[in-house]
Every structure is written in C-alpha cells, then in structure tokens.
Chains A and B, each alone.
Chain A
Amino acid sequence: MTLDSALQLAGLGLQAVLFALLIWRRVYRTLPVFFCYLVWCLCSDALAIVAVRWPPEVYLRFFLVNLTIDDLFLVAILIELGRAVLRHNRATAPGRFLLFFLFVLAGLLVFSLAKWVVAPRAPMLEQLYMILLQGFAILRVAVLLTLVWWSSLKGLRWPNYELQIASGLGFYAIVALAVVIVHTHSFGWAQDHRLDQIQVASYLGVLAYWVLYFSQKAPEGNISMHKRKIFCY
C-alpha cells in the first residue's frame, strides 16, 4: 500500500467516524451545511479511489469539479458559523458595508501574501487548476479573517462546537495557503507531491481533532444547552 492510498483510506475512516458522531450529537440540526459537507466528502473521496484509474484528462476534470464544490462548501460553512454566532449572541445581522469592507481588507492582505502564478503556455485545464487552487486558498483565509475581525469588533461570543469547527477549518486553510505558496515557487515534482501529502495529513489531523472533540461530553455554552435562569456565582 502506498502512502497516498493509506492517507486516502485514513481520511475515509475518520470521516465515517465523524459522520456517526455528528448524528449522535445531533449537530446536523444546528449546522446542516457542515453535515452536508461531510456527506459530500465521504461520497467524493470514495469515488476518488475509483477515479485514479481513469485517463489523466478525465481525472483532472473530475478533480477540478471536486475542488470547486469542496471549496464552495468550506466558504458556506464559514458563513453558517457566522450565522450561528449571531444566533448565539442574539445579535442583529451585520451591516453589509462593514462586512464588505472587512472582506476587501482581508482579501487584499491575503492576496499580497500569495504569489499569483499561472503558466501562460500550460494547457487550459492546468491553467484552470492553478487559478482555482490559488483563488480558493486566498478566498478561504479571507472569509475566515472577515469572520474573526467582525466577531471581534462586535465583541461576539462563539459557541464551543462552532469554535472548534472554525479552529479546524482555520488550521487547514492556513496550511493549504502555505502549500499553494510553496507550489508557486516550483521546487520540483517530488517536493510538490510531498507538500500535497502534508496538506492531506493536516486535513486528517483536523478530522482527528474533531472526532476527539465531538466524542467528548457536550460542552457548556452550546446552542443546544438549556439556559441557566440567573447569574451563577
């Protein structure tokens, strides 16, 4: 068994355990997009085991569609977390101007950190691959920073489940951005592939962290918790 297939199988196993835990904890009620994302990951990763035997061009198309849906899901999860934070704080929806301003600021900051590179002579599909890879890596971190800045400015509290999910996504988004940046410097195929493996390993680490967290007793301060009636000393 190669390291790649071992990582793939470990990912499927961890996702299956997390899927069961989310049902057990009834997280699908409060965070339906996150739950749907996990279902999507299970299906797409299972299909990817078969897809590696397809012709390279067909596999690349499959991979691009997979990448796009995956990253759109991640952005949708971050928005869902923002809504959960609003509900938890009984706060009103934020002003669109403030959110737009913070997003533009975060986007500019992250974009200035990245080195945007697309080889002009590469085949169209490979160009598209590079654009999507870099674009989504920047978008993920920019949306995450917007969420963090906005909740800090408004002084909002985070429920525990949502904070753990955001922490995991944040860690993965930062590792993915670092990997994309190193990719753009092109140190050679062997190193590039090793970097991809590091990125997958970081995703497995996040899954393991979530599994560990959701397998513990439900923490205080979650949306599903009953409210205490008076202030407690």
Chain B
Amino acid sequence: MILALLQIAAIVGVALYLARWRKGVRRRNEQSWDSLLARLRPDWSARELSDHFLWKEGLSATPEDAWQRMEGPKGLWVMYQNARVMLEMADYAARNSDSADRLLLETLRSDAMQIRVCVLAALAQYGFSKASEGVRVNAFRAAQMYTGMAARMTQLLQENAAFIVPDFVAAM
C-alpha cells in the first residue's frame, strides 16, 4: 500500500511538472516585445567586459579581470537569465518577420544552450571550489559566448526591425 502511494505521489510530481511547463509555454506565447525587454536584467552589463559589447564578439579582459568585473557569480547568473531572454527575443523576431535569417536563429539557439550549460558548470564548480582557475576559465568562456550572442542578436534586430535596436541596446 505504501509503495502504491509513493508511486502515485511520484506520478503527481510528473503531472505538476508538466502543468508548470504548460503554464510557461502559454506565458511565452502571450508575451509582448516590451515584456521581453523588461525581463532583461539591468543590474549588471557585459559592457564591463568588452568595449564593443553588442557590436563585436570578444572580450577586452583576461580571465582574472573578467571574473572581477562580472562580480563573480552575480554576473554569471545575469548572463544565464539574459541568454534565455535573448533566445525568446530571437524567437519573437522570427515569428514576426518573414525575412529572419534561419541560420542566424539556429546559431542563437545554440549560443543560448551553450551559455547556460557553461554558466551552470561554472556555478557548480564555484560551489565546491570558490574562484578557482577552472571556474574563471569557464566564466570567461561563458562571457565570450555571451558577447557573441549579443552581437548576433543586434545583427538580427538590425536586419529585421532596426527601429527597435536603440531600446535593446539601452536595456542591455
């Protein structure tokens, strides 16, 4: 009897997970460009790491400098969240434009996935060994990909809805 109850409790857990996923997908379907912009985290910007942020890929800092300037895990977490929002922005652009570059969109999807994996790996390492060299290298890689993704996102917006670029640049 106890085993049956445990199994049913686990199934209820799966059902709740699926309900939560469905709610998230519905929310995403209904969001506007303004609500997407509002979801970008303003408390830290990767401008600290690159002089050409949003326009060119690459960092103007060493791994040690980058770790200091991104304020450790705080900057990493902002990159994690903003990568997801930028992905949704790219998706929004694709949905509302017939001329969005398919290859660019795929690259943005791949960027977002890699950044999130890299950030999670760096944060997990940080949990065990604080700011070790491995953590700094992973954080540096994540930041590099983040600047690349932001530059590609700007390019996508310029090509499909240039009038929206100033708002995006301000929010980032």
Q: Do A and B bind each other?
A: yes
Residues of A within 8 A of B (CB): 89-92, 110, 113-115, 141, 144-145, 148, 152-158, 160, 163, 167, 170-171, 174, 177-178, 181-182, 185, 221, 227-233
In the complex, A233 Cα to B7 Cα: how many Å? 48
Contacts A89-B91, A90-B102; is A163 near B96 (CB within 8 Å)? no
Please, what's the 1-or-0 string for B137-159, where 1 marks a CB less than 8 Å from any CB in chain A? 00000000000000000000000
Contact of B96 (CB < 8 Å), options: A90, A92, A158, A232: A232
Minimal beta-carbon separation of B168 from chain A (angstroms): 11
Stretch at the interface among B20-28, B53-61, B70-78, B120-128: B20-28
Residues of B within 8 A of A152 (CB): 21
User: Is there contact, CB below 8 Å, between B8 and A178?
Assistant: yes
In the complex, A167 Cα to B21 Cα: how many Å? 10
Minimal beta-carbon separation of B165 from chain A (angstroms): 11
List 10 interface pairs A-B (beta carbons < 8 Å), by A numbering. A89-B91, A141-B14, A170-B22, A174-B11, A185-B3, A221-B95, A227-B96, A229-B96, A229-B97, A229-B98
User: Is there contact, CB below 8 Å, between A174 and B92?
Assistant: no
Q: Select the residue from A148, A154, A155, A170 with max chain B CB neighbours within 10 A.
A: A155
User: Is there contact, CB below 8 Å, between A230 and B29?
Assistant: no
Residues of B within 8 A of A90 (CB): 94, 100, 102, 105
Residues of A within 8 A of B7 (CB): 113-115, 181
User: Is there contact, CB below 8 Å, between A231 and B94?
Assistant: no
User: Is there contact, CB below 8 Å, between B105 and A233?
Assistant: no
Residues of B within 8 A of A185 (CB): 1, 3-4
Contacts A163-B22, A167-B22, A233-B33; is A174 near B113 (CB within 8 Å)? no
| Given A92-B106, A148-B18, 17 new contacts (CB under 8 A) | A110-B14, A113-B14, A148-B21, A155-B87, A155-B112, A157-B25, A157-B28, A157-B91, A163-B22, A170-B22, A171-B15, A174-B11, A174-B14, A174-B18, A185-B3, A231-B96, A232-B96
Does B47 lie at the interface of the complex (its beta carbon under 8 Å from any beta carbon of A)?
A: no
In the complex, A232 Cα to B11 Cα: how many Å? 41
Within 8 A of A (CB), among B56-115: 84, 87-88, 91-98, 100, 102, 105-106, 109, 112-113
> Secondary structure at chain B's binding surface: helix, strand, loop or mixed?
helix
Does B34 lie at the interface of the complex (its beta carbon under 8 Å from any beta carbon of A)?
A: yes
Within 8 A of A (CB), among B1-52: 1, 3-4, 7-8, 10-11, 14-15, 18, 21-22, 25-26, 28-29, 32-34
Contact of B25 (CB < 8 Å), options: A92, A113, A115, A158: A158
CB-based nearest A residue for B14: A174
User: Is there contact, CB below 8 Å, between B105 and A163?
Assistant: no
In the complex, A163 Cα to B21 Cα: how many Å? 11
Minimal beta-carbon separation of B30 from chain A (angstroms): 8
Does B164 lie at the interface of the complex (its beta carbon under 8 Å from any beta carbon of A)?
A: yes
Does B169 lie at the interface of the complex (its beta carbon under 8 Å from any beta carbon of A)?
A: no
Residues of A within 8 A of B102 (CB): 90, 92
Residues of A within 8 A of B100 (CB): 90
Minimal beta-carbon separation of A151 from chain B (angstroms): 8
User: Is there contact, CB below 8 Å, between B29 and A158?
Assistant: yes
